[in-house]
Structure 1
Amino acid sequence: MASNVNPTVRRRRLGQELRRLREQRGMTAEEVADRLLVSQSKISRLENGRRSISQRDVRDLCGVYEVEDRRIVESLMQMAKESRQQGWWHAFGDIPYSVYIGLETDAASLRVYEPQVVPGLLQTRPYAEAVVAGALPEAGAADIERRVQVRMRRQERIREDRTPLRLWAVLDESVLRREVGGRHTMAEQLEYLNEMSQQPHVTLQVMPFSMGAHPGVNGQYAILEFPEASDSTVIYLEGVTSDLYLEKANDVQNYSVMYEHLRAQALNPDQTREFIEDVAKQYARG
């Protein structure tokens, strides 16, 4: 999906522009909320792109900020209209991590650390089916299939010919050792990892058990960067019932530094391919 119609990214850009206008007026979110008789949390959600923005919201906010240039108001209202369009993922129904999918769809690069399972963008279908079924033991077959279909569709981003997603993944050794879906599925999955690691835009590294404690012991996280300079980098932390998105410069800096330490301590890409191949052979031998 082209970035100019991605509703998630459109909301973020519009929210950033509304925050800039508020700050230019020297107003706090609480003051704006009082003027519009809404909650402060609504203003915050509008500005961070976590809430759909209506054209009426834009009109009211521009009135509070005394934006006199009609072209600016109309441009912001058009962004609001586009931000309410539906992304491709909406065709699959209520997806709990739809905000993340919207960001991933428009991202230029993704750095991820995974301590438990193969990243979704690199999963084979049998592996994905086993992961989803295991993670959601009470889900029905139809729900599992829907989630797997979304996962497979997401992988189109790293298969694009012109502008594929630049993916760098550091995997804990436990990802390779955890037998998901049986030995045949694991052997096939690890062979696929090595196949994908040959792509110029995909880099894989394994963090072996022998490394001991390392900056990734606190859990999974992803760093998304975007082609537009105005789009801030996002740190994504996946939760069971809700996810966390961090955009403050200090948070981005801290997680980026941690990731550099992870890359430095993990096996290099060539060593990683050899390591994965050895484990895949163990699965294949049964």
Structure 2
Amino acid sequence: MQVTFGPQVARRVLRYELDRLCEQAGKTHTQAGERLGVSRVGFTHLVSGKNLPSRPALEILLDFFGRPDRIPMMLELLTVAKLKPDQQSTVRQDIESSSSLNDFELAVGLEAVANGIEVFDPMVVNGLLQTEAYARELIAYHASITLGVDIEVSVALRMRRQSVITREESPAELWWVVEEQALHRPVGDSAVMAAQFDHLLDMTSRPNINVQVIPRDVGVHPALSGAFFLLRFDDDWRVAYEETRRSAYYYDAPDAVEDYGKVMNHLRHLALNPKRSRALFAKLRKEVQ
């Protein structure tokens, strides 16, 4: 897949990955700093985004964390992170054992540290709200027409992604707008669909999750080109994301983000409110019994 993004996106994912790999390796910031020959504060500056690591430092850290396999991807991120603010780069990213929408590294990395997620989906239930059985049906079909997809690894990754909205401490706020037609699409048998509607009813009872359904009688609207994400972070930095079958694009220029924000607000205006959307889930749940 061709992935197009700019230096701010690269910096964010680089920071997130360094901190995540450090934690996974059971290392402290002090230990990582010592390995580099700097103080704990020196390493903390790397994972806070104040400084960028050098190429040799990045290689040393990834070897120290026991993840030399991540060196090519991280060096690619470092190259993009050094670009001028108004520049973008297009790189090739292999989607190892992933299923499709958003299960690859840049998207997962950004999503995991976002505090606000807005999504529009026209075709299927969003991955953050899928049951394991529903996800397995989608991923298994994708695997049947795509070489190299590991179904079990892909399903596990899809489920892990959901922790961003289900974690106990500071879960991200999710606002999902979905076309009604996506809810009528049969994915698996009636048991899979019934469980999926039960899950949607359960998830939308959480205070950090809002869902709105665009009724089937709504005609033309500003997102007919397809699904997209808007991600918001603690410092109010925002990025928009969309993908095609062969390419993915990240936009963090203020005018681009504002444009996607206007589209999302228009969709919310056209959609049923969250209460009526939940009532529709309940109605559809009864219909698949």
**What TM-score do the two structures reach when normalised by structure 2?**
0.67
Quote the Cα distance in structure 2 between the aligned partners of 1:94 and 1:181: 21
Paired position in structure 1 for 2:249:
244
Which structure has more strand as a fraction of its residues? 2
Quote the Cα distance in structure 2 between the aligned partners of 1:76 and 1:171: 40
Q: How much has 1:241 moved relative to structure 2?
A: 2.4
Higher RCO by CA contacts (8 Å cutoff, separation 6 or greater):
2
Deviations 1:166-210 (A, max 9, x none): 100001011110000111101110111011001000001100111
Ranges in structure 1 where 5+ consecutive residues have no aligned partner? 1-6, 14-71
Q: How much has 1:140 moved relative to structure 2?
A: 6.9
What letter corresponds to residue 122 of structure 2 in structure 1? P
Quote the Cα distance in structure 2 between the aligned partners of 1:265 and 1:142: 37
Quote the Cα distance in structure 2 between the aligned partners of 1:12 and 1:258: 30
Quote the Cα distance in structure 2 between the aligned partners of 1:194 and 1:138: 32
Q: How much has 1:134 moved relative to structure 2?
A: 2.2
Paired residue secondary structure (1:116)? coil
Q: How much has 1:94 moved relative to structure 2?
A: 6.1
Q: How much has 1:228 moved relative to structure 2?
A: 2.2
Which structure has more helix as a fraction of its residues? 1
1:112 maps to 2:115? no
Percent identity reads 31
Which residue of the other structure, out of 193, 198, 201, is the alignment partner of 2:205? 198
Within-5 A mapping of 1:1-286: 9=12, 11=14, 76-78=51-53, 81=57, 95=98, 97-139=104-146, 143-229=150-236, 232-284=237-289
> Does the 8 Å CA contact 1:9/1:106 hold for their aligned counterparts?
no
Paired position in structure 2 for 1:64:
none
Structure having the higher Rg = 1
Q: How much has 1:159 moved relative to structure 2?
A: 1.3
> Does the 8 Å CA contact 1:205/1:268 hold for their aligned counterparts?
yes
CA 142–94 in structure 1, closer or farther in 2 if over 3 Å, else same: closer
What letter corresponds to residue 248 of structure 1 in structure 2? A
Aligned pair count reads 215
What letter corresponds to residue 213 of structure 1 in structure 2? V
What letter corresponds to residue 252 of structure 1 in structure 2? V
